[in-house]
Amino acid sequence: MQASITGHHAAAGAEDDRALTAVFTAYTVSATAWLLFATAVGLLLAFKFGAPDFWAAKYLTFGRLRPIHTNDTFYGWASIGLVGLAYYVAARSCGTRLYSTRLAWIGLVLFNLAAVAGTIALELGYNWGDLEYREWPWPIRLVFLAALLVTGWNLIGTVARRNAEDIYLSNWYTICGVLWTCVIAIVATLPWYQYGLGQVAISGYYMHNAVGMWFTPLALGVFYYAIPKILSRPIYSYALGVFAFWTNLLFYPLLGGHHFLFSPLPWWLQTTAIVFSVAMLVPVWGGSANYLLTMRGRYRDMTHSYPLMFIFVGVIGYLVGSTQGTVEAFRSMQAIWHLTNFTVGHSHLTMYGFVTFAVWGGIYALLPLATGKSPGRLGIAMHFWMALVGSFIYVIALSIGGTIQGLDWLHQLPFIQSVVDMNPYWVWRGAGGLLMFLSHIVFAWNVWRMTSGQAGNAASPILARTGEAAA
């Protein structure tokens, strides 16, 4: 009788593992498809700076393609990829199955439905105005909000079934990220204050919190699970992680006003945003120190573990990009960099150097645990180095060019002079972007090998240590 019960539980556990693997795989494959599409559009846009008449048909104009690139990167690639990782981390860290596999699939359908509908609407010229990262018409954004609500409910239900009293730190970050994004999505959709300066203030609130209270908590949650898993050691300080969590929640929501310095927004609101931008150094430096101290003494392991190298770059991207954001918030710096290509370089340093590398590191570390398949050594190496070198060229070129551009304006030179001065840096932007896009094609090949294709020969540090295909 006891043997029968044990066998039943083992069969149920194997079925739950297969269901979780299917969900994780589907989210990863879907996100990868959006990464390829969104960055192909971004590459086309990069070359349009040097050749504005290139593919200048009505449906390929910069004004239509640019929001497609940003929204599909945000809500197609990064959102779907991070949610897939959050589901896997929640189930494994809690030692339980997903609360509802059906809800996970419904959420994936809703995320993709919103992204497809938003892309078509923007391509046809339908939008909600020139509002950064929320150009989708409001009914489409309601579909995305429904996906968030489904995801939040499912994550909370999963964590509620945990087999330990404490909630692991990763789940603090991921659940908070989903719930807070539900709040900012509702605030950004309600129409009653969306006019005049109210619309300006909400734009700053939404665009900054979409990064800092959605992508950042989910990416940090992946770090808190994947780094100890790869290194087989606990996080350096659980208390420091909790401290960074609450200070991020305290300081980040009020930063958006620093996007509109010298605007008609109240001066005190702009100053408050600057003060809280400086305060953000507390959770950023505290959290980054926690990750780096966990890796202390094990940096040599990165030469044998590309997943750890991706995560290490993500941690450095978080530290440098966020610190740069604090410096950029000062009025003296905004006088030079505001509205220049420097801010484009900064946004790619954070969304690419931090968030995207975090997603890649999480996928390379955890997807082989779910599927039992690894990518090839050459494929993962090509992906890493092309993405790293390409993003470095991209960010450095736009940072230097954007500074020159801002100084031209500050010195009241003719506007066309700033265009001429930026031209060589736009060429380098295109070169870096091309390397980045090529790395994404290699990543798609690696995902295929980790899911449906023939397994590669890249040794997983976790699989090699545990000798099993599930953790």
d(CA 291, CA 296): 9
Does residue 186 or residue 302 have the better pLDDT? 186
User: Over the stretch 36-82, which tens digit does the pLDDT of each residue have?
Assistant: 999 999 999 998 888 888 887 888 899 899 999 999 999 999 999 99
Measured at the CA of 52, the angle between CA 51 and CA 55, to 5 degrees, comes to 90
Sign of CA dihedral 214, 219, 220, 226: positive
What is the arithmetic mean of pLDDT over 187-201? 86
- Determine the average pLDDT of the residues in 341-353: 95
Containing 344, the helix (H) or strand (E) segment is helix 341-350
- Cβ neighbours of residue 324 closer than 8 Å, sequence gap 6 or more: 346, 349
Contacting residues for 274 by C-beta, under 8 A, at least 6 apart: 258, 261, 329, 330, 331
User: Across residues 1-23, what is the average pLDDT?
Assistant: 63
Mean pLDDT score of the chain: 91
User: Quick one: which of 425, 343, 439, 351 has its CA closest to 390?
Assistant: 439
The model's pLDDT over 296-342, given as tens digits with 9 standing for 90+, comes to 988 777 777 899 999 999 999 999 999 999 999 999 999 999 999 99
Scan for tokens 């290194």, then name that residue: 231
Residue type, 367: L
Residue ranges in 125-237 assigned as alpha helix (H): 138-160, 169-189, 196-210, 216-231
User: pLDDT of 353-388, one tens digit each?
Assistant: 999 999 999 999 999 999 999 999 999 999 999 999
Model confidence over 427-443: pLDDT tens digits? Answer: 999 999 999 999 999 99
pLDDT of residue 463 exceeding 80, the answer is: no
pLDDT surpassing 70 at residue 282: yes
Res. 2 pLDDT band, cuts 50 70 90: very low
